[in-house]
Every structure is written in C-alpha cells, then in structure tokens.
Amino acid sequence: MKEGQPQAIHLKDYKVPPFLIETTDLHVELNEDETFVTATLRFTRNPDAENEKDLMLDGGKDLDTRLVEIDGRELLSNEYAIDDQSLTLFGVPDSFELKTKVAIKPQENTALEGLYRSGDMFCTQCEAEGFRNITWYLDRPDVMSVYRTTIDAEKKNYPILLSNGNAVARGEEGDRHWVTWEDPFKKPAYLFALVAGNLEFIEGTFETMSGRSITLQIFTESHNIDKVDYAMDALKRSMRWDEEVYGREYDLDIFMIVAVESFNMGAMENKGLNIFNTSCVLARPDTTTDAGYERVEAVVAHEYFHNWSGNRVTCRDWFQLSLKEGFTVFRDQSFSEDMGSETVCRVDQVQMLRAAQFPEDAGPMSHPIRPDSYIEINNFYTATVYEKGAEVVRMYHTLLGEERFRKGSDLYFERHDGQAVTTEEFTLAMEEANDADLGQFRHWYSQSGTPQVTVTGEYDSDAKTFTLDVEQFCPPTPGQPEKAAYHMPLAVGLLDSNGDDIAFTAEERDLATVRKDGEYTAVLHLREPKQTFVLGDVSEEPVPSLLRGFSAPVKLTYQYDRDQLMFLMKHDSDGFNRWEAGQRLAIDVIQEVVGQIQAGIEPMVDERIVRAFEHVLNEAVERNDDDGLDKAMIALMLALPSEQYLGELSEIVDVDSIHAAREEVRGAIARQLSGLFLSVYKLNKSEEAYAPEPTDIARRSLKNAALAYLMQPSDTEMVSLCVEQFEGSDNMTDTSAALRLLVNSASAEARDAKEKALTDFYNRWADEALVIDMWFQIQAACPLPNTLERVDALKQHEAYTLKNPNRARALIGPFCNANPVNFHDRSGSGYRYLADQVIELNGINPQVAARMLSPLTRWRRFDPGRQKLMKAELERILAQDDLSPDVFEIVSKSVEQE
Ligand code: BES
Ligand code: ZN
C-alpha cells in the first residue's frame, strides 16, 4: 500500500455516537460566489457512550471555517483543531450549544455531493456523507435531530426556497428574501435537503386513510412543467398502495418532489422533499418511452416508500444500507407488480439480477448484502445491496406467506419508529411476530456469492412418488473461502403429460401450497447442503417446474432435455417458468452453435427453437383479441438471452463466438418466421392515441419485438417499414425503437436512412436533454464495426459534457455495458476508451467515475489476451495521481486478488 491510501472502515468497529444532537438550526445564505452556512447545534453527551473529553465532527476539506463558538463564546485557536476531514473541539462540556459558520462554493462542486448547482438552481444531495460538505456535523445515520432551516437568497433568481418539513416563516429585505422550514420528525443528516431556484410547480392533494389532506407539489424548471403530471398520478397511487398493503400513512402535511438535471443517482428520499433526477420524474408521450414511464412510476414509489422504510425507521450505520434499500426495492417491485403484470415484472427483475448482481457477486467486488467493510460507502450502493437485498426480503415473504409477512412488517415499523436500527432488528421482528426460526436464514446477510442449486428427480411408479435430490453449494468469494448452507424457499410444481399441475403431497413442515386456478405449488424449505424431498400422490411421471417465480436468488441446474423445455414453455402454470424454459432452450441451442463456431464447423441451428418461437407467434396471432397483458409476456419470450448473460454462463467468455452464434440463431428465426412476424407487427399497430397503460405498453413491446426480427435481414421493404414507423409515430417508444433498429442495421438499404434519421431526430429534439441522452445511447450501443469511432467523435459534439452525469453515462454506459463486441474489441481500444473516461471523470465526479468501471473489473472472465489488456488499463488508472477513494477502491480490489 502506498502512503496515505484511503483506509477501510469495518462493521465490527461500530461504536455508538459520543454525543447526540437535539436540535439543528441552519442558516444558509446563498450567493453566486460564496455561500455562508451558519449552524447552531444543541449537543448532549450520549449516556450510552464512553466518556471522551474531545469531540470530533465530520466536515469536508472545502469548508472554509469562519467561526467556532460554544455557548456564545468564540473559541480560541488552541481550543479546536481543523484538518481535511474533521473539526475537533477540545474538552467539551456534557451539554452545550455549538455555533459554526463556514463559507462554501456550490458552483465549484462538480462531484454533486452536498450543496451544488444544477443549471440555474441550488440543490443538495446528502446521502450518504454529503452533509459534511455543507457544515460541521456528526454525519452518521444514528445521530438524529430536529431541523430548522432558514434559506436566504436573492429574490429574482431564486423565488422558490425549499427545505424539509413545513414552511413556518418568511420575509424579505431589498432584493433578497428568506424562508424558514421546520421538520418536526427527527432525522439523520443524510435526509436533509435544500433547493433554491426559479421553479414552477404543479399541485395535487391526497386524502389519507385517516382523513388528513396532504398537499403534493412537483417542482421543475419552466420548460419541463408539462412533463410532471404522470409522476403526480404515480405518487398518489403509491401513497394509496402503502396504506392498503402495509398500513402506512404519510405523516407531514406536505410532500414535495423537485426535478434536477444534474444528479448522480436516480432520486433521493429526503424527508418531505424528494429530489429526482429529471430522468426519473419527467414523462410525456412524445419524449418518453414506455420503459421511461415505468421507471418514473417505480422510482416515485420507491422514494415515497422510503418515508417509512428508511426515514421513520432508518439505518444505524451504512453497513445496514440493505435494511432500507433492499426492503424498499422489494416494496417498489411489489407495487409495480400490482400496477401491471406480476410475471412481466418478475422477468424484468430476474433479468436485472442476472445481468448485474450475479456478475458482481462472482467478481472482485463481491460482498454480502450487509458488507463487512468498505473504503468508500458510495461504492456500496450496489446491485447486491439493492437487488439481492430485495430478493432476501422477498424470501421472507415466500417462506412466511403474505399475512405473516405483514405481521412482521407491522411489528418492525411499530417497534422501531424513530430509531436507527440494523438488519438484525428486521429479522427479529419477522421472527417474533410469527414465532418463526430464522436462525439459518441470517446467512443471507453475512455471506456473499451466488448459491448453486443442483436438482435431480426420480419417479417411482409403484410408490407414486417423485423424489427430488437437492444439493446447494456456494462458491468461494473474496474473504469467504467456505460457506454455511442457506435456508431458502424452493417453490416447486409438477406437470402431468397434459401439461396440468399435479396435486401432489409433501411433508407437512415443508408444505405451503398456493392454489390459484389450476396452479399447485409447494414451497419446500431447503436447509441442508444435500436434502431429499419425497413428493407423494404423483399419478404419472411428471416434468418438474422448479424454483417457480424465481423463489430464491440462485443458479439452478436440472438436466432438462429440449423437448421437456418446449413442454414447459407451453404448459407451465407458472408464467415465470414458462419464460425461463424458453430461455433455457435458447441458451442450450445458442451454446451448441457457439461450440460449432469454435470448432470451425458450419453452424446448424436446432429446428426446435424455431418451432417453439412459431408456437409463441401463433398464439400471439390467434389470441390477438384478448386484451390481456399476455402480449408483454410474448414479447419477452421472443427475446433471446443477452450476450452478457450468455457470457456469464461460460467459464471463459468468447465474446465474438457468442455474438456470432446468437446472431445465427436470431437470423434463423427471423428468416423462417418472417410471415408470422409481419402479421404480429401489423396486428399490433394501433392508430389510437398513446397511453402509458400496461395493456398498451404490452402491445407496443410485442410489435417492436416483431419489428426487430423483421429488420434482422433488413431488405428495402423492411427498412421502409421501419422508416415509416420512425416518421409516423406520435410517441417516443415507437420512434426510438425504429431509430435503434435503423442504426443497428448492417444492410446497404439502411445506410442513408439511418444518417437521415439520426440528423432529423437530433434537430427535432435538440432542446430536450433526456431525448438527446437517448440519441447518444442508441449510437453508443450499436454493435456494428466503427462504433468506437462514432463514439469518439460524439465526445466532441457540442451537446456532450462529462459534467452532467446523465450525458456522460449516455455515451459511456451503453458502449461499455451493452455492446460486448465493440467494448471487447481485440485491439483493446474499448478498454483504453473506458479508462480514459474514468481518468477524466475521476477529477470531476468520482462517484460516477467509479460506477463506470465495473466492466473492466470483470477481466478474469476473458481470454489471456484480453485479460492482459484490461488489466493494463486498470493499472494505468491506479498509477494516476489524485485518484479518488471511490475509483481507488474498485481498481485496487480488482487488480489485487490473484
Ligand atoms: N437513497 C437512494 C438514493 C441514493 C443512492 C443517494 C446513493 C445517494 C447515494 C434512493 O432511494 C435510491 O435507491 N434510488 C435509486 C432508484 C431506486 C428506484 C432503486 C437510484 O437512485 O438509482
Ligand atoms: Zn432507495
């Protein structure tokens, strides 16, 4: 280790805070050059802490301290000390009032943590440790205080001044004005927020279950005020849902959302004043895709749900992050399932988990959902803490059932309201409310890695039993060579030869059956490394449907043959497993072609995949009049597994063969079923006005899935069809789908059309930042050769800037994460490109820079040539001066572990 390298913080070192802060009084004077923050804090010694005579407060190196006063007396220079990250007060009394005044420069804050500028407004982002860039404080989530905040700014440019809670006083003087906000709920500093700007807003009201009327407001800059109605509706739906499903009512009289253009993440749950990335709140049919609408609804819900799971009950320390994030993701997922199609949502969730979390858990950054240590907490807002964390909460739900889960959550909220707690409290509440034993279940919090579950089945025709032999194994991960067996729910069904569910029996303690028209599922409790389940009353040899609904976040192996998979695809009563069977079939067929390509044999695509797709398409045609959500499911069934997931399944990722094989299979399907694809396309075109309704979204997804296959060979006729959709569409879903297909088309016919479409699109939408982000994304994701040249040229585009995270991510993200053939080009040019971007961003916005790195950290999965190139780039980054702790942590962990 080099001298002065950032040090790790460990969970085992947790100590209660030395002092409590009863009240926090802030006065913020906003100016263009210098902002002054005066903080008056009422400290009392924490009775639970050891007595220490000095008190150390957190603060960033950019706090320019102008005053330190205790109980009205300014301290002498020998009564305190200031360094890069702390202010130490020597020999403090047991109870006192501290007053500090600092000057800060939000306009120079490109890291976007603390108080910063987004366009013409001032805003804050304090989670996880941004508050310390605003003022000296005990910036840790277990220090909870009541806040009173006065914002003072120039009237003309900042007519709107917002903070948490209720506005209790305001006044003006000359060309300045001020507003005082009071938040009656104790909160940790990470939930503090402040906004000042020239904003417009829309207003709504919500009547709570107890009859209170809540004012709802959404603020944006004036040019976006026409795009916030959908978020307002989504907010009302979320508030109602949390009352109905969790019995949780909103607490303040006002709830505000502010949209900002420059934001590191998606959105933030500050008490009563959520701050959103514009990308997660704005929606209008002609600028926003269906996926965008769904994202807005989910993020609005997620941040709203935090009011209970995160704010009223918060985290003791940042190791407990999954306590609020895993739980809240589970809550927003359940909400989305209730608003649309449960199965479609579940497929999306599992695809996400497999695309992001499984690779993370198999790589150098692998960590449990409750990590043991970190260097930079910002690096731990991960797919593991979020997505796997949500899966763990879902498993309580599956193991306990809906009602008992609710009893557990009721107890958790009631018992810990107003407290900062750990994941252990959550487990204890679930246990104690239900008299359940979750001892072994706790391994999910402490162990990293994705468990592998291997199942074999044997039918005994005399005994009429089907015996499942189940083995679980979790591979070693950094710091964890060996794992204890997990307790997990294995949801299982058995299909008879007609494809109907068999009503089998299972041992009493393992059985928690769900019967909904024709579905018969048993939730088996797997606990042992090797366990046998004997299922009885099985009238004939069944095809097992395993891990229904993806009941545990594991990799499941069962030796299905292709005919069985086709059978499950058609008949499984579990929608998720119908999709899963199709994916398994496609994987099997594509892997066979990969083998042929690697062996230099002429590729041969198994007819069965074409027949399976034909069956799906026929259903789509025959059942076109059903106005269900099935169309979205059909669209998902038509999507082959991604190249990344196929790579994830192989020991050494052969990027080029996987790409070629997948294209070969896609080509075979597209060629042989073109007539059906065209019928499906036509049947699902609609002249009706756009609506972001689940059934309409489903129809468009099916239509655009069909168009993608039609564009696979892209002859003149199909290119015109695509151009027609591009030009004639009234909504961004269809416009962007057509643009993407034109851009990705290799055919000569598409060449001119794509350049024209790109130019027209840019000119049409030059003033809509989020649409221009999409314009960058589509070009960066193009798998054709020369994409890097295009991406390089786009870096010089007048609309490009690394300072806006959305824009930076738009170009770098898709190229490095969704474009394997180009990113992994043998020359190493893709790797060099990413490293260059990370190095540049490191000096601007470390948090975003560190997040971009993940594709390079996966170097061990590639061939020796690529490994060497990837590692060289990581080492080049590591050798930079002034590396942020964020980037340092990820790079050093990736190169260290041999
Ligand atoms: N609390 C987070 C936002 C956050 C994350 C702030 C990291 C600071 C650092 C928020 O609740 C969140 O989880 N947002 C997600 C979206 C959500 C729908 C999963 C995000 O921003 O990506
Ligand atoms: Zn969250």
820 C-alpha to ligand 2 centroid (Å): 29
Ligand 1 contact, 267 CB (< 6 A): yes
Over the stretch 580-615, which tens digit does the pLDDT of each residue have? Answer: 999 999 999 999 999 999 999 999 999 999 999 999
**Side-chain-facing half-sphere of 47: CA atoms under 13 Å:** 0
Instruction: List active site positions.
Output: 303
743 C-alpha to ligand 1 centroid (Å): 32
Whole-number pLDDT of residue 83: 97
Quick one: which atom of ligand 1 is closest to the CA of 847? Answer: 9
Protein residue whose Cα sits closest to atom 20 of ligand 1? 266
User: What angle is formed at CA 597 by the lines to CA 592 and CA 599, rounded to 5 degrees?
Assistant: 95
DSSP string, 146-198: EEEEEEEEETTT--EEEESSEEEEEEEETTEEEEEEEEEEEEEGGG--EEEES
For 633, the enclosing helix (H) or strand (E) is: helix 630-637
Under 8 Å between Cβ of 25 and 69 = no
**For residue 190, which of 311, 303, 81 has the smallest C-alpha distance?**
311
DSSP annotation of 689 reads: P
Cα–Cα distances in Å, from 436 out to 384, 394, 400, 492? Answer: 26, 16, 8, 22
Cα dihedral value 430, 431, 437, 443, nearest 10 = 50
Whole-number pLDDT of residue 318: 99
Ligand 1 contact, 234 CB (< 6 A): no
Classify 95 as helix, strand or coil.
Answer: strand
Quick one: which atom of ligand 1 is closest to the CA of 130? Answer: 8
CB proximity list for 400: less than 8 A, separation 6 or greater: 408, 430, 434, 436
Take residue 841 and report the two structure tokens written for it.
């961003």
Q: Walk across the sheet containing 144-154 and list its strands.
A: 73-74, 64-70, 95-104, 35-45, 19-29, 144-154, 176-188, 166-173
Type of residue numbered 601: I
Q: Which residues of the chain have pLDDT under 70?
A: 1-3, 508-515, 627-629, 897-898
d(CA 702, CA 838): 37
CB proximity list for 707: less than 8 A, separation 6 or greater: 681, 721, 722, 725, 737, 738, 741
Under 8 Å between Cβ of 167 and 186 = no
Q: Considering the chain, what is the average pLDDT of its residues?
A: 97
Under 8 Å between Cβ of 448 and 373 = no
Ligand 1 contact, 376 CB (< 6 A): no
> Could you tell me the sign of the dihedral formed by the alpha carbons of 424, 429, 430, 431, in that order?
positive
DSSP string, 762-813: HHHHTT-HHHHHHHHHHHHT--STTHHHHHHHHHTSTT--SSSHHHHHHHHH
Ligand nearest to the CA of 848: 1
Whole-number pLDDT of residue 625: 81
Q: How many CB atoms lie within 10 A of CB 592?
A: 18
Under 8 Å between Cβ of 261 and 118 = yes
Ligand 1 contact, 266 CB (< 6 A): yes
**For residue 29, which of 173, 182, 221, 168 has the smallest C-alpha distance?**
173
Protein residue whose Cα sits closest to atom 2 of ligand 1? 268
Under 8 Å between Cβ of 449 and 367 = no
The shares of helix, strand and coil residues in the chain, as percent rounded to the nearest 5, are 45, 20, 35
Ligand 1 contact, 329 CB (< 6 A): yes
Cα–Cα distances in Å, from 198 out to 28, 201, 268, 269, 278? Answer: 17, 10, 21, 22, 16
Take residue 580 and report the two structure tokens written for it.
């899963």
**Phi–psi pair at 352, nearest 5 degrees:** -60, -45
Protein residue whose Cα sits closest to atom 8 of ligand 1? 127
Whole-number pLDDT of residue 340: 95
d(CA 735, CA 755): 15
Ligand 1 contact, 265 CB (< 6 A): yes
Protein residue whose Cα sits closest to atom 16 of ligand 1? 266
Pocket test for ligand 1, best of 294, 303, 321, 357 (most atoms within 8 A of CB): 303
Would you put residue 464 in left (φ > 0), alpha (ψ -120 to 50) or beta? left
Ligand 1 contact, 128 CB (< 6 A): yes
Bridge partners (DSSP) of residue 149 are: 26, 181
Type of residue numbered 24: T
CB proximity list for 480: less than 8 A, separation 6 or greater: 447, 448, 449
Over the stretch 412-440, which tens digit does the pLDDT of each residue have? Answer: 999 999 999 999 999 999 999 999 999 99
d(CA 665, CA 549): 27
Q: The tokens 């162990």 sit on which residue?
A: 447
Ligand nearest to the CA of 299: 1
Ligand 1 contact, 306 CB (< 6 A): yes
CB-count exposure of residue 559 (10 Å: 0-12, 13-18, 19+): exposed
415 C-alpha to ligand 2 centroid (Å): 22
Under 8 Å between Cβ of 850 and 843 = no
d(CA 495, CA 497): 7
Protein residue whose Cα sits closest to atom 21 of ligand 1? 266
**For residue 320, which of 410, 437, 431, 419 has the smallest C-alpha distance?**
419
CB proximity list for 556: less than 8 A, separation 6 or greater: 452, 453, 454, 455, 546, 547
Under 8 Å between Cβ of 841 and 849 = yes
Whole-number pLDDT of residue 411: 99
Full-model pTM: 0.98
d(CA 729, CA 29): 48
In Å, the largest CA–CA distance within the chain is 94
DSSP annotation of 501 reads: B
Quick one: which atom of ligand 1 is closest to the CA of 306? Answer: 11
User: Cα-atom radius of gyration of the chain, to the nearest Å?
Assistant: 28
Cα–Cα distances in Å, from 367 out to 360, 376, 480, 486? Answer: 8, 14, 10, 16
Whole-number pLDDT of residue 1: 41
